[in-house]
Amino acid sequence: METKKEIKILGWIIVVFLAAFFLPVESAVFKEAIRATFDLVKWYAREHVILCLLPAFFIAGIIAVFVSQGSVIKYFGANAKKWLAYTVAAISGTVLAVCSCTILPLFSSIHKRGAGLGPAIAFLYSGPAINILAIILTAKILGFEMGLARVIGAVSFSVIIGLLMSFIYRKEEKIKKEQQMNIKPPPESRPMWQTMFHFFTLVVILVFANWGQPDKDITSGAWFWIWSNKWLITAFLGLFLIYSLIKILKIKWQWVLISAIITGLSAYLSFEFIENTKIAPLVPMIFAIAAISIITLKDKNNPENKEWTISTWGFAKQIMPLLAIGVVIAGFLLGSTHDEVKIAGVIPNEWIENLVGGNSLFSNFFASIIGAFMYFATLTEVPILQGLMSAGMGKGPALALLLAGPSLSLPNMLVIKGVLGTQKTAVYVALVVVMATISGLIFGSLV
């Protein structure tokens, strides 16, 4: 046994050595891929971690600590009414407006609290897939037909994939169902409406803080007005968070007031002195997150408050390293495409564009695979697809990529594997890819 272990270590040493020995550092493609990797990592860190992921970890912490196991089991558990569990899971995306990585701590949280596999998977898929902002943008830029097809596909996918996963692993679900029948959850520590108020306050702040910029040609309308004033709206919503921290979590009002003043002052100074409008909002968000962490950890009135931040840290510790690895691999292989930047990875973009033209089985399957492994931040899939379609991508493969892409990514898969295991993750990914391929074929033949 010891010999096998040593041989395995030797094998890895040889692999790493050979990779370093033959590293093609002189290759232009390799250099471009390295540049794409660091560009994607930098963009991800600036655009996604602070404004999106960190608040999501706190939201997951709410589910893990303040939402009782009884409530999760009631709505998502193995014994919950299927129509209720899948309805709640399927429409969650319209509320959350998150991407494939931001949904992970929320999914991990409800899964650990006892949610059935089917509803948990439906929630995992629907969170990023049924993003109401992305669907509106899809219909506006890629056409009404594409927007409608995305809605129908995403809602039906979340339910069908959840039901299939539940059926495939029905023996495990039966055991979970029997175990949950004997669970007698303790009484709620506070009224459910208070927990939901605290939860949705953070969800709405997350949504408006990440409200996407409309098309550059659009300079009026509700979407543009919200985007232009999103930081004022976010600041206003912060008042509800202040109320929640004081009245619901019972944290000393002096601590909350000092935290709010410091956060507000950091916002004023950052917008006043930092010229980069994308960097400036990160400063008050960092101060707000740090302040909430400190006042909850120091609070001695309610141990749940301290547990909330500790649970948040637990999710960050579990998920962030896997996401980082996934982003690095995705950037190196598939390149970095965002805003006006388009840097090729080891796999040339031209290959992708040439392989997804028309409406063949292969083009739809290939689009689904590429979508499944690429990382799309919220709303970024639409302009990327617009560019691919202008380069000759068929409408069927475009829909296939839309249905597979936002809900999956290489970083996303690595984290799901840590929660569900390799087999269940592989089955889930396979179901998404196959259904996206079939949907793309049907849509392509109709339009």
Q: In 10 A of CB 349, how many CB atoms?
A: 17
Residues 6+ apart with CB under 8 A from 65: 304, 307, 308, 311
| Tens-place pLDDT, residues 208-251 | 887 777 766 667 778 788 888 989 999 999 999 999 999 999 99
Average pLDDT over residues 340-369: 80
Say whether pLDDT at 151 is over 80. Answer: yes
Give the domain range for residue 129: 29-211+227-251+299-446
Is 50 contained in some domain? yes
Q: Whole-angstrom Cα distance, residue 39 to residue 401?
A: 23
User: Considering the entire predicted model, what is its pTM?
Assistant: 0.69
The pLDDT assigned to 78 comes to: 58
The pLDDT value given to residue 226: 87
Which residue, among 248, 242, 279, has the nearest Cα to 264 in the 3D structure?
242
pLDDT of residue 441: 92
Evaluate whether residue 291 is within a structural domain: no
pLDDT for 328 beyond 70 = yes
Q: Has residue 24 been placed in a domain? A: no
pLDDT value at position 263? 94
Look at the chain and report how many structural domains it folds into: 1
Mean pLDDT, range 11-35, rounded to an integer: 89
pLDDT in the model for residue 134: 67
Q: What is the 3-state secondary structure (H, E, C) of 150-198?
A: HHHHHHHHHHHHHHHHHHHCHHHHHHHHHHHHCCCCCCCCCCHHHHHHH
Residue 234 has what pLDDT?
A: 92
pLDDT band at 432 (very low <50, low <70, confident <90, very high): very high
Task: Give residue-wise pLDDT tens across range 81-108.
Answer: 777 777 777 776 555 556 666 677 777 7
> Is pLDDT of 314 > 70?
yes
Q: Which of 414, 399, 415 is nearest to 154 (CA)?
A: 399
Distance from C-alpha of 97 to C-alpha of 93, rounded to nearest angstrom: 6
pLDDT, one tens digit per residue, over 256-312 is: 999 999 999 999 999 888 888 888 889 999 999 999 999 999 988 888 899 999 988
CA distance 66 to 11: 47
- Which pLDDT does position 355 carry in this prediction? 80
The verdict on residue 48 lying in a domain is yes
The answer to which of 144-153, 231-240, 330-339, 419-428 has the lowest mean pLDDT is: 330-339
Q: Does 119 map to a domain?
A: yes
Residue 46 lies in a domain: yes
- Is the CB of residue 335 less than 8 Å from the CB of residue 342? yes
Q: Are 95 and 205 in contact (CB under 8 A)?
A: no
pLDDT of residue 206: 83
Q: 10 Å Cβ neighbour count for 187?
A: 6
| 411 vs 377: CA distance, rounded Å | 12
**∠ CA 80-205-99, rounded to 5°:** 65
The two tokens of residue 439 are 């949907």
Domain assignment present for 279: no
Asked if 244 and 198 touch (Cβ cutoff 8 Å), the reply is: yes
Mean pLDDT, the chain, whole residue set: 81
Q: Which residues pair with 392 in a beta bridge?
A: none
Residue 275 belongs to some domain of the structure? no
Q: H-helix or E-strand containing 175?
A: helix 170-181
Q: What is the pLDDT of residue 181?
A: 56
Residue 337: phi, psi to the nearest 5?
A: -125, 110
Confidence of residue 5 (pLDDT cuts 50, 70, 90): confident
> pLDDT tens across 371-391, in order?
888 776 655 676 667 667 765
> What pLDDT digit, counting tens, does each position of 152-187 carry?
888 888 889 888 988 898 887 777 666 655 555 556
Residue 288, both tokens: 């707000």
**Number of Cα atoms under 13 Å in the Cβ half of residue 85:** 27
